[in-house]
Amino acid sequence: MPGLNEQTLLNEILQLVDPGTPGHGFPASRSAAITAWSNAYDTYAGAALDASDDNLSFGGPSGFASALSSAWSSTWTAAAAASAFSSAFEAYWTGATFAIGTLISGTGGECENQGSGTRIFAVELTSIVSVVDGSTLYSELLNEFEDLDDQGADKAARIVACFHRATSADVLVLISGLDTTPPPTGPLPVTNLCHLF
């Protein structure tokens, strides 16, 4: 199944730090850098799936860009940069929604199944990001930004790994619907709180 692919984000970010390739290299302006980062993350995150394999229908590349714009500085400290990028991550996912379609067929360990009755979805009604936590991403990025001994592709790969881990672990989607409990008792409301794929 397609979905989040760490290599996709790495390929996008490497274009920003690979001046040896025509058309690649550090963006020429603050605005260009913000746009490049926002587009890179959106290309990666736009492939995310919820636990019922539904595609992202609304994410927040403009929120990502806005959060970076409000904090961007030529004199960034490592802490300020980590804060800006973790805020941009949170802004991207806040209020994001997924298409309604395929029902959850099995939750495995990816979802916390909530509700009463059978807890088996008969109808899916909503799929919306309800929890976004950028605190661990902040800590991981702070470590990367404070370590100036390593630059280039290796550093880019570690920063991308931070974003991929956060996207996979710290964004939770609340999928709500109705279960298979028969009338007159049902159907009953059922929700799952799930990680992204």
* pLDDT computed for residue 2 by the predictor: 72
Looking at the DSSP assignment, which residues form a beta bridge with residue 131? 172
pTM above 0.85, yes or no: yes
In a domain, 55, yes or no: yes
Which helix or strand (DSSP H or E) is residue 44 part of? helix 30-45
- Is residue 1, in this structure, part of any structural domain at all? no
Closest CA to 41 of 9, 84, 67: 9
Amino acid at 75: T
Within a domain: residue 34? yes
3-state secondary structure string across 76-114: CCHHHHHHHHHHHHHHHHCCCEECCCCCCCCCCCCEEEE
The answer, yes or no, to whether the previous bond of 61 is cis (omega within 30 of 0) is no
Q: Spell out the alpha helix ranges (H) of 46-183.
A: 61-71, 78-93, 135-146, 152-169
Q: Answer whether residue 184 is part of any domain.
A: yes
Q: What pairs with residue 189 in β-bridges? A: 178
Q: Containing domain of residue 20, as a range?
A: 6-195
pLDDT tens for the chain, 197 residues long, are 579 999 999 998 888 766 555 555 566 678 888 898 999 999 999 999 998 899 999 888 899 999 998 887 777 899 999 999 999 999 999 999 999 988 887 545 567 777 778 888 899 999 999 999 999 999 999 999 998 777 778 888 999 999 999 999 999 999 999 999 999 999 999 888 999 98
189 within a domain of the structure (yes/no): yes
Q: What is the count of structural domains for the chain? A: 1
Residue 22 lies in a domain: yes
In a domain, 64, yes or no: yes
Q: Which residues pair with 89 in a beta bridge?
A: none
Instruction: Return the structure tokens found at 34.
Output: 């913000």
Do the domain assignments include residue 179?
yes
d(CA 82, CA 137) in angstroms, rounded, equals: 8
